[in-house]
């Protein structure tokens, strides 16, 4: 009998190879705003959920006492470069690995759109693992306006299975789990290269070109809302990121 293929695992194996070359993932403004939102202290013990290649964990390391990166993909973790006060664990957020009230802060950047089932339970688990008075810092990309949602969904449908959120959806996720004083900050990443995003996505070339042409041939409303500029066989767009904080 042939061994069953874990297509989810295969997806992350491919993605891991060029993830650190993604322009948005390393964008200085985005990372700085995300970290600044957490008001981190040297005494903090932090869990970075869906740490991937550890970009957020590395940014947090000099500011906190300890940061633990959690990710279900061993391939992503192999690109994380452990050192100092950083530790990485191969686990799913749903695995019962940590007790209640362990962490001062929990961070989670660009992860929840990959959680297609039991998303509220995942947020509940984050809430449970925080100490009383602890903070979660949570971020997702969102469509720039509601009128481009259909296009946004179509583009990402070709790329991967994922959820699409507006800011209010993210607020509701946090509040339903019990988070208080939920705040949202929107950050725009200006002139992001669609070609860079696609080239480092792990997608077949035919799919990359199909997604590129959706951008290039989009209607005026789409180009206006994304502030899109065509330049040197590329489309440059403004990506909208929502950064949320909430207190337990």
Confidence of residue 147 (pLDDT cuts 50, 70, 90): very high
Q: pLDDT > 90: what percent of the chain?
A: 77
CA distance 83 to 55: 13
* Residue-by-residue DSSP string for 196-246: HHHHTTT--HHHHHHHHHHHHT--HHHHHHTT-EE-SS-EEEEEEEEEEEE
On the question of pLDDT at 182 being above 60, the answer is yes
> Residue 111: pLDDT above 90?
yes
77-81, 161-165, 237-241: range with lowest mean pLDDT: 77-81
4, pLDDT greater than 90: no
Phi-psi region of 74 (alpha: psi -120 to 50; beta: other; left: phi over 0): alpha
What's the confidence (pLDDT) of residue 7?
A: 43
Is 6's pLDDT higher than 50? no
Task: Please give the pLDDT value at position 24.
Answer: 94
Contact yes or no for 69/103 (Cβ under 8 A):
no
Domain boundaries, the chain: 7-149+160-190+239-247
Give mean pLDDT, residues 164-185.
97
Model confidence at 5, pLDDT cuts 50, 70, 90, reads very low
Per the CB < 8 A criterion, the answer to whether 33 and 187 are in contact is yes
Is 1's pLDDT higher than 60? no
Please state the pTM of the whole predicted model: 0.93
Class of domain 7-149+160-190+239-247: alpha beta
């Amino acid at each position: 009998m042939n061994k069953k293929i874990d297509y989810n695992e295969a997806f992350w194996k491919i993605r891991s190879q060029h993830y650190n070359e993604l322009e948005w993932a390393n964008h200085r403004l985005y990372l700085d705003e995300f970290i600044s939102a957490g008001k981190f202290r040297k005494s903090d013990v932090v869990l970075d959920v869906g740490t991937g290649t550890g970009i957020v964990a590395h940014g947090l390391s000099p500011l906190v006492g300890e940061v633990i990166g959690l990710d279900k993909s061993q391939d992503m973790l192999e690109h994380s470069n452990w050192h100092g006060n950083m530790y990485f664990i191969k686990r799913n957020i749903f695995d019962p690995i940590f007790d209640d009230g362990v962490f001062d802060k929990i961070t989670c950047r660009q992860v929840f759109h990959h959680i297609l089932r039991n998303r509220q339970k995942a947020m509940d688990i984050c809430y449970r693992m925080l100490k009383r008075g602890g903070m979660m810092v949570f971020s997702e990309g969102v469509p720039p306006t509601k009128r481009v949602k259909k296009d946004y969904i179509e583009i990402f449908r070709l790329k991967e299975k994922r959820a699409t959120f507006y800011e209010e959806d993210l607020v509701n996720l946090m509040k339903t789990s019990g988070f208080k004083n939920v705040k949202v900050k929107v950050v725009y990443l200006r002139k992001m290269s669609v070609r860079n995003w696609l080239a480092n996505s792990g997608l077949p070339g035919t799919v990359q070109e199909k997604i590129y042409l959706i951008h290039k041939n989009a209607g005026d409303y789409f180009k206006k809302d994304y502030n899109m500029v065509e330049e040197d066989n590329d489309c440059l767009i403004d990506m909208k990121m929502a950064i949320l904080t909430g207190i337990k």
